[in-house]
Amino acid sequence: MIFSLLLATLYGALFHLWQGGDGRRLIVYILSSWLGFAIGQFIADMLHILVLSVGTVHAFSATLGAWVSLGVTRALVPAGSKSSSS
C-alpha cells in the first residue's frame, strides 16, 4: 500500500514538473495519479494481468492507469489564465 502511494505520488509530481502549474494543479495531478493507479491495480486484479508485478502491486497496469488518468486530467482541467491584473 505504501509503495503504491509513493509510486503514484511520484508520477503525479513528475507530471506536474513536466507540465508546470501552481500548487493546486500539483494536488490535482497527485489525486488523479492516485485514482488512476488504483483503477489500474483493480483492473489488473480482475483480469489477472501479472506483467511487471512487484509483490501484490501490479506495477505495469497501475502505472499505465496513473498516466492515462494524468493525461485525461490534463485534457479536462483547463490551464490557468496567464493574464496580469496590472
Domain residue ranges of the chain, discontinuous segments joined by +: 2-76
How confident is the model over 51-77, as a mean pLDDT? 90
d(CA 12, CA 27) in angstroms, rounded, equals 8
How crowded is the C-beta side of 40, counted as CA atoms within 13 Å? 27
Task: Say whether pLDDT at 27 is over 80.
Answer: yes
> What tens digit of pLDDT does each residue of 32-46 get?
999 999 999 999 999
User: What is the reported pLDDT for 29?
Assistant: 94
- 82 alpha-carbon distance from chain centroid: 25
| Distance from the first to the final alpha carbon of the chain | 48
